[in-house]
Amino acid sequence: MSEKRNKLLLIIPAYNEEGNIERVVKELRENYPGYDYVVVNDGSKDRTAEICRREGFRLVSFPVNLGLAGAFQGGMKYALRMGYSYAMQYDGDGQHDPQYIAAMLETAERENSDIVIGSRFVTEKKPWTPRMLGSRLIAACIAVTTGRRIKDPTSGMRLFNRRMIKILANQVNYGPEPDTVAFLIRCGAKVKECQVSMKERTAGESYLKLGTSVKYMVRMCMSILVVQWFRKKV
């Protein structure tokens, strides 16, 4: 490779993101040329893959749709194979702001953390919206089972070190969700949070639709409170 390979890989999961992906990656490449990235096209039915190929983006393209967990794991496999020391999920819809990546990476290295969460509520106060009520509930479940207070468990902006990459790339049931973070804490992972702010989506459709939120909450709480005790530690 002509350019020197970095230690951090940004995994950009993309499902039907033709309206966003080009802008997101170009912004990233122009303003932050120091970060490596890979777009994981999760079997999109639109022109996501075509755009990535045309623009010469680094791309892992699935022939079928596996869902966010599959796309995330595919990215982790790529990170593992390419020998990256750190990998983080970076949303293709432009929610995540790259200006905070440096601080997160710096935290991971300084604190020797396994996971660094880009958290909206380290210094900021958590608002009392229905969505944040869900966040509070999940945080409470995590606090009860692990004793750790995670201020923003639902943030998708999470940075993992190589030890975590190995687990996330190869094990079943380690999707990019709060229950995975909770279980990894119980397995002895060191977690830190780093203040970030997030942008609203500009186009396309989110993985988390409104109707599914309640189902999601129930699944997360059950997973954190009950299922975790049956799982084999890594």
Pick between residue 58 and residue 136 the one whose CB is nearest to other proteins.
58
Minimal distance, residue 71 CB to other proteins, in Å: 9
Cβ burial of 148 (10 Å; 0-12, 13-18, 19+) is middle
Identity of the residue, 136 or 166, whose beta carbon is nearer to other proteins in the bound complex:
166
Q: Give CA 207 to chain center in angstroms.
A: 12
Chain positions contacting other proteins, by CB under 8 A: 1-2, 38, 58-64, 66, 69-70, 73-74, 77-78, 81-82, 172
Contacts of 133 (CB under 8 A, 6+ apart): none
Residue 26 CB contacts under 8 Å (≥ 6 apart), including other chains? 55
Q: For other proteins, give the closer residue by CB, 173 or 206.
A: 173
Question: CB of residue 79 vs other proteins: minimum separation in angstroms?
Answer: 10
Nearer to other proteins, 55 or 97 (CB): 55
Q: In angstroms, give the least distance from the CB of 233 to other proteins.
A: 19
Q: Closest approach of Cβ 81 to other proteins, in Å?
A: 6
* Residue 154 CB coordination number (10 Å): 20
Residues 96, 90 contacting (CB under 8 angstroms): yes
